[in-house]
Every structure is written in C-alpha cells, then in structure tokens.
Structure 1
Amino acid sequence: NIGYRVYYQLLNSADFGLPQNRERVFIVGIRKDLDIDNFSFPEPLNLQVKLFEFIDDIQSDIDIQKRKLSPDILFNGNVPVSRNKFQKKDELNDFFVFCDTRNGHTTIHSWDLIKTTKREKLICETILKNRRKKKYGTKDGNPLSFVDLSELIDNLQIQELNNLVEKKIIRYIAEQGYEFVNSKNSSGINGIYRIFLPHSEIVPTLTATGTKDCIATVSINAETPEEYKSLFIQEIYLQKKYRYITAKDCAKLQGFPNWFRAHSRENIAKKQFGNTVSIPVVYYLAKSLVRLLGFIG
C-alpha cells in the first residue's frame, strides 16, 4: 500500500552452507518507482557440510561409510511421518533421542541406561506400546492400571511394578495407574534430550529458549541398529564423550565469523544467537538484491 512490490519465500539455513535445519520466511520489498519486477531469491548452494566442520574439540578425522539398510529393519516397515528431509530412510540416524514415550532405532530409554532385567524391559516396552491406545483413555499417553497391564503381561506381579517405581522409571498415579517418570518428550532423560554425532549433517533449529541438546565428541558406526545403540551407550554416553551446545557453537551454526564478539554471559549470548538470522542466508539474499539493482555484475 505504500508503493512497494513485495516478494517472499521460505529459506532454510541448511541450503546455504550451515548444518542447521532453520526455515524462515524472508520478505523483500522493492520500490515500484525503481521499475523492477523480476526479483528472484537465491538458489540453494547444494553444499553437503558436516557438524564436525563447524564445531571445535570434536572428532574431525571422520570417514563414515554408512551401510544401506532396509526401512523394514530401521522402522519395522513404518517410516515415521515426523522425519524431515535430512533424515535418510535407509540409513542409521546421526543422532540419539533420550525419551521414554517414543520408540525408534536411535531412541534411548531410561531402562537402557541402568541395570534392568529382560522382564523389566518387557514391562516398560508394554507400557510404551499401549499408553496411547484409546481404550485406556483419551490423552496422548495414559496411565495403565495393574488390571490393564495384567491382561497384557502374563503372570504380572505387583512387586515387579514396585521395583520399576523404586528405579524411578515408572510412577503410580492414584486411582489411575502407572506411567513413565520421564513422560514429556522434550524433557529428555537426566537433562539430555538429544545427542548429535560429529558426522551429522544437521542440528535442529536453534532457539532463544535453548534446548537440552548435546554434541558427541567422537563418532561411531555400526552394521545393525542394535549394535549402533549399544555402541552409543557404551562408548559415548557412559564414557561422557559428549557436551552441551555452547554459545560459541551457536555462533558457528548461525554462520558468524570467528572474530565476532558475543555477549560475555553464556545464557544471554545463547539467547541472542537463538534469535538471530543466519548470516549466509542474509549474505546471499542481499547479493541477489544488489545484483538486481545493478551494483555488482
């Protein structure tokens, strides 16, 4: 209404040389009196970058040759709709998720991290598989009573459930039943939600509120999902070969140069980097604009 031709497009930082899945709408306004009506947004650079190329103090001598696996092996034939374009359907994930309420070939449950028997694992997996069924309630995750679980697990004893309560894997909700202590996805387990391997091509969108995401300092590879998960727990989690994403990491994941001086307080710097716009996206967008206006060839 004030005399501009307006153009807009969804751009992803991952398309401009950064290992971050960050989609944002960019809006360009060009004054109509300039008589320009053919603006085009920059095209993806088609660069394949890895996390270890941007982050300090993690393993950099990496040559991971992934084995191709059938989706039937990775997902039991049912590929989750929540997967994004950076997650291959025939390869092991480059990250591990700490979550008791979902399942997957790189999902780490609380009963994987402490000593539990096969029977206890069976009970936990039964709760996991049935907690969202409508017959047990309308919520996206319902407590299951002893009666419910007895119908699903042969010869179930109340003491078996009490043992899992003592291990702080499940808890009892009066007059409702048993549910996982770690009942919220994003809360993670023991203060960790996700751990990304150094050879990962992507991390999720950085936010001002921050996340419980970490970066492994070494990479692993395996032939099967079972071996992959076991290797991760033994070689990375239990050996504490991981660390939280820092403000300095956030700066690199947003494309800031090394000389950029961030706020001295870590929490404030992380909030600012979570709120900022990825530098390479702005650079190539501005380059398209100044070229159109005739400032560069």
Structure 2
Amino acid sequence: MKIIDLFAGAGGLSEGFRQEGYDILAHVEMDKSACNTLKTREAYYFLKENNLLDIYKNYLLANITREELYNNVPQEVLDKVIEAEISNKTIPNIFKQIDDVLENDSVDLIIGGPPCQAYSTAGISRDPDRMKNDPRNYFYRYYIRFLRKYQPKMFVFENVRGILTAQEGKVYKNIRRNLSNAGYKMDYQILNAKDFGVSQVRERVIIIGWKKDIDFEYPDFDLQIESPTIKELFKDLPKMNAGESVNGKGKYVLKKNTSIEGIRLNDWNILTQHISRPNNENDLEIYRLVVDAWNNEKRSLKYNELPSRLITHKNSDSFLDRYKMVRNEFLAHTVVAHISKDGHHFIHPDIEQNRSLTVREAARIQSFPDDFYFEDSRTAAFKQIGNAVPPLMAKQIAKKLKKELHQVNLM
C-alpha cells in the first residue's frame, strides 16, 4: 500500500509502517532537522535494498560526509521528503510535489498527527486563553484537505488525549463532522505504547478512518505485548558520565541484547548517539538525591524536599516533580519534546553514572532501532525523539491494518 506521511517529524509512524512493507511515497514536514533525518533514513533504506549498506555505515563512522552519503542515493528518493509548513499558502505547491512523486499512481493510506501543543495539558495550562486562539487547533483541516485531494482508502491520525476535550469537545466534534463530509467514517481508541512492546507508558488517541463504501470496523488492538524493562533496554550500552559521548566508533558491552527485539538487530554493531548532556554540580547533586530516594525508600523526591542550598527556583509550592528518574525495574514515563530543553525528568537510574539519558537511550525508550540516525544537534535529536510516534507501536498498528484489509480484499 502506498502512503503519504503528513506532519511526519522524524518519521516514527512511517518507520513502523515501512517495517511492515508499506511503501512511503512522501513525507511532509516543516522542521529542517527532522527533514534531514527523514532523508538519511530514506538513504538507509535505499542502500540496504541495494546491498550498499557499507556506505551508510561509513557515514555513521564519520568516514564520509552527509553530502557524500546523499550523492550515493537517487535524487527522486531524497525528494520524497518535502520540507514545508502545511498552510493554505503552501498546500498547492505541496500537492504538486506529491503529484510529481506519484506519477499518476493512487494513494492508499494517509498517516500522520498534526502538532498537538494546542491540545496538550501542559500547553493549555501555560496559556491564559487555554489555547483557544492557537491556530494549531485547526491543523486537522489541512489533514482533511489531503484526504479530499487524494481519496485514500483509509487514514491513521495520531494525537494526544486532549484533542477529545479541546474547547469543551468542539474540536473533536468538528473533526468528526468534517471527516464525514469528506466521505469517511471514523472511530478512535486511546492506545498505550506499553501494550505494543514499547518500554514506555504513553497514551495517545489513534483515530482510524475509512471510506464510507468500505466494509470495515475499528480493529481490536488488545495485543498486550510484553515490553522490556529499562534495565533490559539499557544493559548492552556502555556506562558514561554526564557530558560524555559514544558516537559512531563506540562498542556495545554485549554482543547481543535479545530482550529488545526490533531495536538492536543481531548483525548491527555500530553504536551511535550515545551522547549525554553536561550538567552543573547543582543538578548532579540533585540527581544523586533523586536516585537515592528511590533506591532506599522507593519514593519520588519532591522539589521542596531538597536542601535549601539546591533550590534555585522561586516557586517551590507547585511543579514539585521537577526531577524524575526512569526506574530500572519498570517502564519509562512518557518521553516528550521537553527532553530537548533539559534532562531533569529523565535521570538515569544508575547512580554511578549520575546523569540524564543519552540520545540513544531516549530513542530506545521510543523504540527506534539502533540503526536509526537523528540528524543535526543533540538538542534537535532529543526534540525529534520526544515528538515521535514509537515505531514499534506504529508497526503493530500497520500489521493489524494489513490483516484487516486483506479480509475485505483491499490488499
């Protein structure tokens, strides 16, 4: 099935569908760093399919530049990545670029999730107008314009839970009505990534729609796949301190890690982006106290319980969970884009390392495979990871849809 990925980010959603054999025709994304990541991933797949993966590995080992990597890939492959903000002004040109890729072919499926800041609890709580005037409330309208233009059999629309209650439920009602007017039935479920093999508690609304003339029902995703704990997820990664990095020429401490199937492939031996941000001594002391509180008392340390010399924020009456650790014996809490600002909500559980998570550790929590490379800076990589749909979750959705579509003779 041929797919368009809208608001693609780093491509977590399309990565999962691609692993299930779907054909990604185009990714549309406005962030330059995310687009670079998408192009590098397209390069990876092209080189892999043509038995040229050593070129990609040489790029990860810094033996060749990104430009040299891309020079080994046909331009039409890289052109699948359309760097553009989706708006009334840009949509005609985006349509033209997609049409050039399509070459009179049809689109079977559209996937993607419009930016969710306008629906998020954090965004609403910070905005005095409760995000009512934020234009991102209406990005779903652009998504529907793509449905009207390309008439896919189905679509998958991902977002945060807040989309159901935004503006007292008006946003969701409008989405449903506009989709019906565009010729689609739809339904949704609130799905949790932890039930799809992802080492993270992450609830998201997954809307699935299909053309009204298709005999289809929302699939049953009661998969309950066991997810590896944080300890299992990290056990083959070398230890490091704050500010250290292993990128490209680093070594795993185990030859295999069979407990994280789908993340580190058996024949993959290049560890990249195991990069930890530096921290000041104040934060490092707080990190030690947070880890100690859990290890010794099995409790989360509140900000107002810190020694007064470590409290630097004026507000010590609210936002008391400023510092959180991921726990060895459990799954991680939700990875969000704020991880690009600081790592205080993602402290490593090993007190001897005393740091926040590395880029690779965060990517693993989101279930990105170790051969997936995030372009540009450490901050850009963290942002891409935090905004992504976990690929393993996307893969299971894609697998289930494939089975259901076979049953109604649409594949």
**TM-score relative to the length of structure 1:** 0.50
Greater length-normalized contact order (CA 8 Å, ≥ 6 residues apart): 1
Structure with the larger helix share: 2
Q: Give the structure with higher Rg (CA).
A: 1
